Homo-oligomer: A and B are copies of this chain.
Amino acid sequence: MTAVRVLLVDDHPIVRAGVRSLFDRRDDVEVVGEAASGEEAIALARHLHPDVVLCDLRLGDGMDGVQTTAALRAQHPAPAVIILTTFDRDAEILGAIEAGASGYLLKDVSPDVIVSAIRQAASGGLVLTPELSERVVEVMRAPRVRLTERELDVLRLLDTGSSNREIAKTLFVTEATVKTHLVHVFEKLGADSRARAVAIARESGLL
């Protein structure tokens, strides 16, 4: 059996070194490249054709992990993508999976979990830690909250502590319009007040 070819994507050199060292003494996994950004990862993957890409979600200023995943999955042949990250916000997990990730691991898992995840992903499987898979189905089952662009605008301004009047001013609309958007945001989020809305939005990762 030939070794699984892996591409590492993380903006922290230290983490890359850490992951790389996991495979140093193994002959079934081979690190064929490292990238510090999504852009770099895509370019590298185009030439290296890795079997699996191990990708962080937060990648500094450029593309994020979800965008990178989507771009990678659009390539031919498409590598399997495993998200390896510190954060476990529902929206990001869901986003990553929707974008075509075959796995989602938190960085505090033990090294051998990562190794086995890579092997499994290389053979086409889906990899989720038990707690995460539980959450995933839970969130999947709950109807996804879809906010319109405008509603997101007011929500973001809400988060800065703006009043309706201020939001109206910066969005160049009437205060009445803002209120209408807010009503819809409240409905969709199940909130009964602006304050609660931001709190909920924050929890579900919309902000």
Contact = CB atoms under 8 A, between A and B. Distances in A.
Contacts of A108: 11-13, 60
A196 interface: yes
Contact of A199 (B18, B86, B111, B159): B159
Contacts of A198: 161, 195, 198
Contacts of A159: 199
A145 interface: no
Identical subunits present = 2
A96 interface: no
A184 B199 CA distance: 23
Contact of A14 (B19, B191, B196): B19
B196 A161 contact: yes
Interface string A1-35: 00000000001111111111110000000000000
Contacts of A20: 18, 21
A132 to B, nearest CB: 16
Contacts of A11: 108
Question: 4 shortest A-B CB distances, which residue pairs?
Answer: A18-B18, A161-B196, A161-B199, A161-B195
